[in-house]
Structure 1
């Protein structure tokens, strides 16, 4: 099981803040010992500790859409990712990761895409085009999604 961390709407985006986010993310290392990554966009940081199960060679996170304006960090597994990839035929995928579909689905369908996901997951997605984010998770067959404009918000 991966570990994800999001710091959103940060006032301080200094190197010291980045170092603090990395330090906090490392505390999740036991959940994902295979790889770690961090993404910084504006006033948002997304960090990931990866347990590589699907696409262990190229599925490192955070994951992006084609022009890297949508960034997502995910824990879980999307069971219907192959079917969803077919629906996204015009999109170009960098990896075979089941979770990469999330960024592309958001781009194609907006926040309603969450209802298309079949699996066990939690994720944070940042849309750098309008400085908004979505935090969502499945909750034993019941999906929950929150969408926000950036303000003074931490998830």
Structure 2
């Protein structure tokens, strides 16, 4: 289980692993409730929460996600799982060996909440990969030790 503020940082980090797109690199960090531009289209995430936006590292800042999560009602006292449940993702269970799924945009969760859960989902997948790779890396020396031990006995 993540500490309430720690999961927010982890979510941010997961979006930074995506590749940059030149169309979003030069976008300014507008305040969260203003209209934003992606290409030639303008929209307001609060008025159009189901509009799909390409996942890019710059998107986090463009949507004002830090401010949104910092000011989420009771956000400093809840876990990521409780947050997911509050916004409609009742089957979202993050953790080592778990595979949380936020669903499709506006299937159950809308707008900034969906983007936050997708970022947490991606971070969880990354951490699971690290955990699995550490386990596989540990298996190789153990096998070599066992082989060396039995070959020296014979």
Alignment TM class, shorter chain as reference: under 0.3
Relative contact order, higher structure (CA 8 A, sep 6+): 2
| Higher fraction of strand | 1
Structure 1 length normalisation: TM-score? 0.26
| Higher fraction of helix | 2
Instruction: Compare CA radii of gyration and give the structure with the larger one.
Output: 2
